Amino acid sequence: MNRRRLLGNIAVYTVLTVGAVTMLVPFVWMALTSIKQPDEVFATGGGIRWLPEHFVWQDTVIGGRKVRAWWGNYPDAWREINLLRLYLSSFFVAAVGTFGQVLTSSMAAYAFARLRFPGRDKLFFAYLATMMIPGSVTMIPVFVIMKKLHWIDSYQALIIPGLFSAYGTFMLRQFFMGLPSELEDAAKIDGSGHIGIWLRVILPLSKPALATLTTFTFMGFWGSYMWPLVVTITEPLRTLPIGLRYFVGQHATNYTQLMAGSMMAVVPVLLLFVFNQRYFVEGIKLSGMGGK
């Protein structure tokens, strides 16, 4: 029996390791290509050229100063796509959008979960029903609204339509429903109004749910592609995915620089995840429960 378990574990480790290597190889390939010279992406004699043949020290410019580096693809790509600008733009949109969405969702969820008012259940059902509707149904009219408001190519267009979410309201409402009412009653006896209860009782008790919603909303804004593509025209407003897309358009075959650019887009997110992966996993479990 013990022997069988051991063999089973070895088999599992083997399969998982093969899978892990498959997961990692594309990333490794990306990293290695990003430090190659353009002519080194071509294979020689039927083999695979994994490593750059030689590190070529070349002049490159960083912050207005000349530097000699073998990793020159990075500063070149950084300048080429104006990566700092893209990061700031993406971060600004994601941070403001996420804060707004979590705020409005938690307020509405509090009303739905804890307060009684005429029409509550009907309205909540209407919210639920709209979660079924594909984003592409509402996208065209919202685009027209943006156009009428002259908001095309503005931060408003990137942020404001994303400030309200039926899903966020639903998820937080489910979580709030499960909170014990004793603390709330105690706060009422102490003379707290509804704003006080929401702010000082409900929200502090809901940190896991709020963290989950914040994480996924932020990731949603950060990775959002179709909407920013539709409503941004000029360069300063482009978010990171859109900027990368234009980079591909201009350098379709310059893979060493493309990979350097992709590395710089991916690595910060990757590090953020590796150090916080426990919260991600817990969050997914929580959101999966909310959806059930």
- Restricting to residues 83-112, which ones interact with another protein according to CB under 8 A? 103-105, 107-108, 110-111
Looking at beta carbons only, is 57 or 138 nearer to another protein? 138
Looking at beta carbons only, is 68 or 274 nearer to another protein? 274
Looking at beta carbons only, is 51 or 133 nearer to another protein? 133
Q: List the interface residues with another protein, window 65-84 (CB under 8 A).
A: none
- Of the candidates 251, 250, 244, 252, the one whose C-alpha atom is nearest the C-alpha of residue 225 is 244
User: Is residue 61 within a helix (H) or strand (E), and if so which, with residue range?
Assistant: strand 58-62
Between CA 155 and CA 138, with CA 172 as vertex, the angle to 5 degrees is 45
Q: List the interface residues with another protein, window 131-150 (CB under 8 A).
A: 132-145, 147
Compute φ and ψ for 276, nearest 5 degrees. Answer: -125, 20
Cβ proximity of 289 and 103 under 8 Å = no
The reply to whether 25 sits near another protein by the rule CB under 8 A is yes
The residue from 63, 118, 180, 191 that contacts another protein (CB under 8 A) is 118
Tokens 């499960």 label which residue?
Answer: 178
Determine the 3-state secondary structure of 62 from DSSP: strand
Residue 75 CB, nearest distance to another protein (Å)? Answer: 18
Determine the 3-state secondary structure of 58 from DSSP: strand
Among 59-67, 75-83, 126-134, 181-189, the segment contacting another protein (CB under 8 A):
126-134
Rounded CA separation 259/27 (Å): 10
Looking at beta carbons only, is 61 or 133 nearer to another protein? 133
The reply to whether 125 sits near another protein by the rule CB under 8 A is no
Cβ proximity of 209 and 145 under 8 Å = no
253 to each of 39, 88, 250, how far by Cα in Å? 11, 27, 9
Cβ proximity of 286 and 212 under 8 Å = yes
78 to each of 19, 170, 263, how far by Cα in Å? 32, 40, 11
The residue from 15, 51, 62, 186 that contacts another protein (CB under 8 A) is 15
The reply to whether 208 sits near another protein by the rule CB under 8 A is no
User: In sequence order, which residues have a C-beta less than 8 Å from that of residue 131 and are 6 or more positions away?
Assistant: 166, 167, 170
Residue 207 CB, nearest distance to another protein (Å)? Answer: 19
The reply to whether 22 sits near another protein by the rule CB under 8 A is yes
The residue from 6, 7, 12, 177 that contacts another protein (CB under 8 A) is 12
Q: List the interface residues with another protein, window 157-186 (CB under 8 A).
A: 161, 163-164, 166, 169
- Of the candidates 133, 104, 93, 141, the one whose C-alpha atom is nearest the C-alpha of residue 241 is 93
How many residues bind to another protein according to rule CB under 8 A? 93
The reply to whether 63 sits near another protein by the rule CB under 8 A is no
The reply to whether 259 sits near another protein by the rule CB under 8 A is yes
The residue from 1, 46, 121, 122 that contacts another protein (CB under 8 A) is 46
Q: List the interface residues with another protein, window 210-249 (CB under 8 A).
A: 223, 225-226, 229-230, 240-241, 244-245, 248
Residue 66 CB, nearest distance to another protein (Å)? Answer: 29
Tokens 């294979």 label which residue?
Answer: 43
Bridge partners of 67, per DSSP, are 60
Q: List the interface residues with another protein, window 264-283 (CB under 8 A).
A: 265-266, 269-270, 273-274, 277, 280-281
